[in-house]
Structure formats: structure tokens, C-alpha cells
């Protein structure tokens, strides 16, 4: 693990905290006094039906949207009243994989992944390229360095988006439906990358997903660097803590928060439906 990131995992303050956050678009109340905490090193899976505000929640965390009321703290700093300039420094420490991959179509894969270095004048171009190649290698896409995004499949674009999100060695990862629309095999690959990033770099993460299978992978497996694959967290009676909790959004409110075990023993039929 990079020393920088090790220190980040041990840094004081929460990774993310929402304190009674509300946001409406005209008459559409998307979030109503939503509160949750993501500790450093913790991972939270956000579940909810389409339109329940999952993407909005991640965009608020990135400071791309501002709440109408409530307070948001990210990596120990309250961002609610921050200017764009102040937000820039916070965003440097966050890696976001957008729902649509959101690659720039007019520049190469390498330039897409290296976007963050354009504004970081303290990183020389050779060093930037080295890090971009390393990030692409992490997602097994180094061979696409000179290709244009239009030449990639959906799953490849998603992997490039992950490379772009991790290249700056973030302390917090935000994944918005990273496996949506992908076949089961590619989805499993993407989830392996996400768990690998979690376990190799000890970052905190919020993962939005529609696929309960992804949630199980996050909660019940860990990455073994020796075998280069995911292994079950529960084995021969011993259990590795994957530091994963769940949050279910419903009609602007938090319907459930807790561990997988707590979710599995919930009587609430709405919450149980997500486990099916």
C-alpha cells in the first residue's frame, strides 16, 4: 500500500458525514433530512430504486450539487459552504466513477486518465504518464493508452473510468452503478477491481449499485494479492472484516442502515426485497 494512502486511512475525521441533508428540485423532494456516517476505511453500499437519489447523494459528496439544508463533511472537512476553488482541493482526494463512465470522447484513453495532472503543475509530464500507465495496468487496460474512447466497449470504458478515478491515489472512492448494463463476467471483473482497490489501498468508498450480487461481493470477499483473486471473507470458521455496511434509500429517506447480517434479519419487506 502506498504510504500516502496508509496515512490517509489513519487520518482523523470521518470519510463522509451527512447531517440532516435535504435537497429538492422544485417540487420534487429527492432527499429529506438524510443522515449517515462513513468512517475512514469503511465501505457503504447504497441501494434504492431508480430515482431514489443515489446519484444525487454521490454528487452532493463531490460538491457538484449543494444541499438546501443540512451539513456535509468530506474527509474531515465541512464542504457545505465551500467555494468551487476550495472544493477543488477536496476533489483531488476523491475518485469518482460516474454512472455513464463520462469519458471525454475527443481525447485518448491516456489523456482521459491523466486529466487530473493537467492542473497539478507539481507533477512532471513523465511522472504523470508513468502514473497513468500504472493506473491503466491496474485495470488491465494499458494497451488502450493511445486509443480513443469510441474504440472501447462499455465494459472497457468502465475500467478506464476506474483507472481515471484511482490515478490520483484518492482517499475516498465514489462508484455510481459501476456494473450497470454489463454482462455477469465483466461485472465480476469490475467488482474484483473495486475490492482490489479497497483492499490494496485502504480507501473508504460509497458504492451505488442495483445488483445485490455486487453488494455480496463487496461484503463477503476480500482481495488476495498473492493469488491475485477474490477469496471468501468467511473461511473455515474464521472471518475477515470487509468493513462494509448498507444504506437503503426510499422516498427521500433512509429506510435502513446497517450490516449485511442486520439487513438479512430485517422484517421490513421493502428492505428484504433488495436481497432477493
Ligand X SMILES: Nc1ncnc2c1ncn2[C@@H]1O[C@H](COP(=O)(O)OP(=O)(O)OP(=O)(O)O)[C@@H](O)[C@H]1O
Cβ pair 57, 34 in contact under 8 A: yes
Among 116, 180, 110, 177, smallest CA distance to 148 is for 110
- Which range, of 28-36, 50-58, 114-122, 146-154, touches Mg ion by CB under 5 A? 50-58
163 binds, among Mg ion, ligand X, none (CB under 5 to 8 A by kind): none
- Residue 41 vs 252, nearer CB to ligand X: 252
Does position 52 interact with Mg ion (CB under 5 A)? The reply is: no
Q: Is 109 helix (H, G, I), strand (E, B) or coil?
A: helix
Does position 245 interact with Mg ion (CB under 5 A)? The reply is: no
Q: Quick one: angle between helices 125-138 and 184-201, nearest 10?
A: 130
What are 48's three cell numbers?
A: 434504492
- Residue 48 vs 110, nearer CB to ligand X: 48
52 binds, among Mg ion, ligand X, none (CB under 5 to 8 A by kind): ligand X
3-state secondary structure 243-269: CEEEEEEECCEEEEEECHHHHHCCCCH
- Measured from the CB of residue 41, what is the shortest distance to ligand X in angstroms? 25
What are 187's three cell numbers?
A: 461485472
Among 216, 212, 209, smallest CA distance to 275 is for 212
By residue count, the chain amounts to 276
- Residue 55 vs 266, nearer CB to Mg ion: 55
Cβ pair 179, 128 in contact under 8 A: no
Residues in contact with ligand X by CB under 6 A are 25, 28, 30, 48, 50-56, 99
Does position 55 interact with Mg ion (CB under 5 A)? The reply is: yes
- Residue 43 vs 55, nearer CB to Mg ion: 55
Site string for Mg ion, 85-124 (x = CB under 5 A): --------------x-------------------------
- Measured from the CB of residue 236, what is the shortest distance to Mg ion in angstroms? 39
Amino acid at each position: 500500500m502506498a504510504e500516502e494512502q496508509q496515512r490517509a486511512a489513519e487520518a482523523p475525521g470521518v470519510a463522509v458525514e451527512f447531517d440532516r441533508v435535504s435537497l429538492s428540485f422544485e417540487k420534487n423532494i429527492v432527499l429529506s433530512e438524510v443522515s449517515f456516517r462513513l468512517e475512514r476505511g469503511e465501505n457503504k453500499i447504497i441501494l434504492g430504486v431508480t430515482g431514489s437519489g443515489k446519484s444525487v447523494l454521490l454528487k452532493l459528496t463531490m460538491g457538484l450539487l449543494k444541499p438546501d439544508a443540512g451539513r456535509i463533511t468530506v474527509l474531515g472537512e465541512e464542504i457545505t459552504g465551500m467555494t468551487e476553488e476550495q472544493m477543488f482541493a477536496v476533489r483531488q482526494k476523491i475518485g469518482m466513477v460516474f454512472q455513464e463512465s463520462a469519458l471525454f470522447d475527443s481525447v485518448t484513453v491516456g489523456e482521459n486518465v491523466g486529466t487530473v495532472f493537467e492542473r497539478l503543475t507539481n507533477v512532471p509530464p513523465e511522472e504523470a504518464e508513468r502514473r497513468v500507465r500504472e493506473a491503466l495496468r491496474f485495470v488491465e487496460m494499458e494497451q488502450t493508452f493511445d486509443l480513443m474512447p469510441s474504440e472501447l466497449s462499455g465494459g472497457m470504458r468502465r475500467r478506464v473510468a476506474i483507472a481515471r478515478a484511482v490515478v490520483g491515489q484518492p482517499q475516498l472512492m465514489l462508484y455510481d452503478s459501476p456494473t450497470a448494463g454489463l454482462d455477469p463476467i465483466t461485472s465480476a471483473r469490475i467488482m474484483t477491481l473495486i475490492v482490489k482497490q479497497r483492499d490494496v489501498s485502504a480507501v473508504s468508498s460509497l458504492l451505488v449499485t442495483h445488483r445485490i450480487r455486487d453488494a455480496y461481493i463487496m461484503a463477503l470477499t476480500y482481495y488476495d494479492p498473492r493469488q491475485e483473486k477474490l477469496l471468501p471473507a468467511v473461511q473455515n470458521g474464521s472471518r475477515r472484516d470487509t468493513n462494509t455496511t448498507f444504506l437503503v434509500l426510499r422516498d427521500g429517506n433512509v429506510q435502513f442502515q446497517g450490516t449485511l447480517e442486520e439487513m438479512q434479519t430485517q422484517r421490513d419487506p421493502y428492505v428484504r426485497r433488495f436481497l432477493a
